[in-house]
Amino acid sequence: MDADAFVKGLFTAGESKERVYSKGDYLLSEGSVEHQIYLIQSGAVRATCTINGEDQTIRLGYKGSIMTSISSFYSGLPSTLSIEALRKTTVLTVSKQTFLTYVNQSPEHALHHNQLLTALILGQMEREIDLLTEAPHERLGRVLTRSPQLFQEIPLKYIASYLRMTPETLSRIRNS
């Protein structure tokens, strides 16, 4: 079993639920405790946190992405993130209890859970490097290397927010 089979097994274990969100709906609101993991079937979402009264995009997700407020999910504390649908979005959800039961069913499941967490940590490290990269064109290049389909999935203004630049700067970089 590989990590993809682990995820597929988790969301087809009979306890996942399909939910449809309209553009602008929140899968999770800041201050709520996260009790779900979401597998995006169609559509797109963004995870944001509020800094100085402004929503900052910190993560983007589209078909095949797993989304959750991982710190809230594991700690049981209120989330510092919101997860918003950017267009009509269909997700499969699995509860925390179902997830933990599935992970603990076998050593193989636990191993794949650890591999997913490792991939998440490595992704967060890449994101931190993105934020420390000063040149906007380098930030864009790094993100496109990881997610070449990004512009087909996510509206430009949210990509710009994710990259910490204005939509105009992003357009200028893309056109040069």
| pLDDT-derived band at 33, boundaries 50, 70, 90 | very high
CA gap 27, 22 in Å, rounded: 10
Average pLDDT over residues 13-40: 93
Per-residue model confidence as pLDDT tens digits over 127-155: 888 878 778 888 888 888 888 888 899 99
Element (H, E) at 38: strand 36-42
Q: Does residue 2 register a pLDDT over 70?
A: no
Q: How far is CA 18 from the centre of its chain?
A: 17
Specify the pLDDT at position 5: 77
Q: Where along the chain do its domains lie?
A: 3-105
Q: Note the CATH number of domain 3-105.
A: 2.60.120.10
Average pLDDT, the chain: 90
